[in-house]
Structure 1
Amino acid sequence: MRTTTLPRSAPPSPAAIPAAYALETVPRYTSYPTAAQFGPGVDEALYRRWLADLDGATPLSLYVHVPYCRALCWYCGCHTSVLNDDARIARYARRLEAEAERVAAAMPRKGPVAHLHFGGGTPTILAPADFAAVIGRLKDAFPFAPDAEIAVEIDPRTLTEEMAAALAGAGVNRVSLGVQDVDPQIQRLVHREQPTEQVAAAVALLRTHGIMRINVDLMYGLPTQTVAHVRASIAAVLALEPDRAAVFGYAHVPWFAKHQAAIDATLLPGAAERLAQAQAAAEAFAQAGWVEVGFDHYARPDDPLGVAARDGTLERNFQGYTTDTAETLIGLGASAIGALPMGYAQNEPHLGRWAQAIDEGRIPVVRGVPVSEEDALRRAGIYALMSAFDVDLGRLAAERGFSQDTFDADIARLEPLAADGLCTIDDRRVRVPPHARFHVRNVAARLDGYWVPAATRHSRAV
């Protein structure tokens, strides 16, 4: 029907792609429709109906959001705030328990929990006893699979012996450590001063208590950061022998995260330098024998995430690339988002109003979006591109009961990108070649029925 391919000569480099694509603002596609489409049409009443209709034969995932930190990192784009009032943090834990019980009671059929993820903020800001109590209440409210993955995001600067013991005792078997960059000057510029020795001590402490699955988070595009900084940071974390790494591009969105205004935008790398840093990260992990997972994750070849990337079973959710195949994700805590077969539901982000809803006996969902059959089709196409860099859109549409030409207008929108080397089009099959891996979000956006070019609600593509 149509064929647009790259020349058969030597493969182009990422730098050959026009720089304008790196500057496009496009979603990260951890959901579809994205949060930009959420609205008040999804409320507590609708969410309760969705919960009541869930199929109890399929696995569940749980996400618990803890929106507090001891100090604010200026690059952060998450829903979090600084709090040093331990009594308020303890009350938040009690409300988490109440919310979990209330949501579970609204689900007459509950499949086994295969994944539990604590995000933030800093989940380990909870007192060790409170953290253990929250997990205990979750296990009372929901059935857990014997091999469930229980993962927690950790700030290495605040990890204590008591908390490491509590994590292990509660069954935590995977942790994610924020590193970002090991250079002291860059750390000062983003208000995240964290000596590498402190990270190493946290890793050793966790392993002493039997928590062996370690993820690290790194960033590129930070103020004054260079390719050399990225390479040095990766060398430092590889010496700690983690299992997985995520390398996120810093998204400077001070209109959304107002504290980012503290970062001097004149010190941020340009588009070409950001792309070079992303490529340097890929090269460093490849040289270490790691597997590329999507466009911004890496894993050891024997890690389940690396295996999924090779086997074509990779999944994507709000935590990024994952092995989690559950169709239902229950979000708990202020601002947490749940993903159900019927749609997405987000809790009240405002901490005071979230707490009030819990105290009044309500489930605090205030916004979201139903997922139509066409949305589900487009999500499948986008996720296939994001995870495997390859999708036959005609076949996908036919398999889901749509006409094979459903995506033809979108494929036409991809023709200029194919001409610029971001993808190839063979009839209705779209592939993103290895050199364009970091631009997969540009390609996916052309399958997005809601995306508007030049909108400022999203981060840059690279």
Structure 2
Amino acid sequence: MRNPLLAKYSGSVPRYTSYPTAPHFHEGVDCGKYTQWLGELGAEHDLSLYVHIPYCDRLCWFCACHTKHTLKYEPITSYLESLKREIAKVGSLVSRDAKVSALHFGGGSPTMLKPEDMIDLMQAFRAAFDFRPDAEISVEMDPNDLDEPRYDALAAIGMTRASLGVQDFDPKVQKTINRIQTFEQTRSVVDAVRARGVHSVNCDILYGLPYQTMETLEATVNDIVSLSPDRIALFGYAHVPWMKKHQTMIPEEALPDVETRFDQMSRAADMLVAAGYEPIGIDHFAKPDDRLAVAARNGRLRRNFQGYTDDAAEALIGFGASSIGQLPQGYVQNMPATGEYQKMADAGGLTAVRGIELSADDRLRAHVIEEIMCRFAFSFATVRALYPQIGETVIAEARQFSASNPDGICEISGDEFRLTEAGRPFARSVAAVFDSYLATGKGRHSIAV
């Protein structure tokens, strides 16, 4: 390989949107434990809410999300009734003094909902929770779903951030991943939401796609930059056909090798920086005045199941099939199977089936891994202050890894462990050094580059 670091540090590791990661959740965290945890959320806790709509009117072959294809609306109608029961139940368990600072609609395709159902679902949330006046309302959008009534409904629910998946505009790539979406469609969505007062637009680009070339990627980046989104996410395609069977529709021989993926990532990142975007963590870019960029400069950048965020809420509550919550006490996941989720919601409201309660060691390592993923460094002084009894454990691991690493991807500088510029693309692999669960072999992961 031209870059010898790729062979050593591009192996399969978690994305570290949580620690411990989801393969280590267990059935010991159930509805009873979840009830207890929700009851402990009080006025001192800001809440962030996530709602999962697990339906699409087409299935994109590249997608690794929990979703299913449907051309009928009846299953969605039924699902929404169950979802509203869960919302009401969770709301009854959480103190009304706790304030909601953010709500994210994800999927699947939330924009498949009929306009009246979007508004009705938002009303269910507002009936169950107390929202801050400046709460951020973000929605993942599929341009193929959208029309004027839906745009008006999104404005009516108070959407403040629009998130559009683009992937690549090249027709051959789009056909291979079953995601047909023209630049003109995408531009019309951006124009429509901005005309309705949406202050922030996010676009996702993928590299490492089948038949994708440096030329198609460069063209896509240029097209996206011309739309002037506030944030851009540059993700590597995660080929995990053992977990998502529809990915077997993608011809593996058409996928770029790891060196080509790395070149694509590097070139796209250089183009975005040249266009005036600030790099955020391993895969995000934002305009300098965007809240994400400000959070990164101020040391307030966070990482959760939605990726990088400036959301400082102490609790993220997930709603809907398969959704994951992150509470002060630990993580909890809802029943993934949609039909079983609905049975549980209809019977009692809560649908938690697994999770993990955080130990002191988990919290220590979660802090270190989040710091590496967000700012490519962690402070020994901060670790000692937060975890005086056990902090020296990971400090010793950091010193050992740095001393035994001949590749120059990390260093000890004063009282800090940090990645060098050469090491930053491999932040996931460095974070994995501090993952005490990884050696158990639970779960398979996508490659780190």
Q: TM-score, normalised by structure 1?
A: 0.93
Three-state SS of the structure 1 residue aligned to 2:34 is helix
Deviation (angstroms), 1:160 = 1.1
Q: Is the 8 A contact 1:377 1:397 kept in 2?
A: no
Between 314-323 and 101-110, the greater mean CA deviation after superposition: 101-110
Q: Does 1:97 align with 2:101?
A: no
Q: Distance in 2 between matches of 1:313 and 1:272?
A: 33
Three-state SS of the structure 2 residue aligned to 1:345 is strand
Q: Which structure 1 residue ranges, 5 or more long, are not aligned?
A: 1-13
Three-state SS of the structure 2 residue aligned to 1:405 is helix
Q: Distance in 2 between matches of 1:162 and 1:350?
A: 31
Between 450-459 and 64-73, the greater mean CA deviation after superposition: 450-459
Correspondence for 1:267: 254
Q: Does 1:325 align with 2:299?
A: no
Q: Is the 8 A contact 1:417 1:443 kept in 2?
A: no
Seen in structure 2, the aligned counterparts of structure 1 residues 431 and 138 have a Cα distance that, compared at 3 Å, is: same
Q: Is the 8 A contact 1:22 1:460 kept in 2?
A: no
Matched letter for residue 23 of structure 1: S
Q: Does 1:300 align with 2:302?
A: no
Correspondence for 2:161: 174
Correspondence for 2:29: 42
> Once the two structures are superposed, what CA deviation does each residue of 1:252-309 show, in whole Å capped at 9, x if it has no partner?
1100001000001111111111111111121011101110010100000111111111
Correspondence for 1:11: none
Matched letter for residue 447 of structure 1: F
Seen in structure 2, the aligned counterparts of structure 1 residues 53 and 220 have a Cα distance that, compared at 3 Å, is: same
Correspondence for 2:264: 277
Q: Distance in 2 between matches of 1:181 and 1:338?
A: 31
Q: Distance in 1 between matches of 2:337 and 2:404?
A: 40
Percent of pairs identical after alignment?
A: 43
Between 402-411 and 382-391, the greater mean CA deviation after superposition: 402-411
Correspondence for 1:414: 401
Q: Is the 8 A contact 1:216 1:237 kept in 2?
A: yes
Correspondence for 1:431: 418
Three-state SS of the structure 1 residue aligned to 2:256 is coil
Match of 2:435 among 445, 448, 453: 448
Three-state SS of the structure 2 residue aligned to 1:144 is strand
Deviation (angstroms), 1:428 = 6.0
Taking only aligned residues, the RMSD between alpha carbons, in angstroms, comes to 1.8
Q: Is the 8 A contact 1:181 1:229 kept in 2?
A: yes
Correspondence for 2:128: 141
Q: Is the 8 A contact 1:54 1:109 kept in 2?
A: no
Match of 1:255 among 230, 236, 242: 242
Correspondence for 2:353: 366
Seen in structure 2, the aligned counterparts of structure 1 residues 412 and 57 have a Cα distance that, compared at 3 Å, is: closer
Three-state SS of the structure 1 residue aligned to 2:364 is helix
> Once the two structures are superposed, what CA deviation does each residue of 1:395-453 show, in whole Å capped at 9, x if it has no partner?
41343222452114532662477321221134762111223222100110101111129
* 1:49-128 pair list within 5 angstroms: 49-108=36-95, 110-128=97-115
Q: Distance in 1 between matches of 2:231 and 2:197?
A: 17
Q: Distance in 2 between matches of 1:440 and 1:246?
A: 16
Q: Distance in 1 between matches of 2:254 and 2:101?
A: 43
Deviation (angstroms), 1:108 = 3.3
Q: TM-score, normalised by structure 2?
A: 0.96
Correspondence for 1:288: 275
Q: Is the 8 A contact 2:88 2:349 kept in 1?
A: no
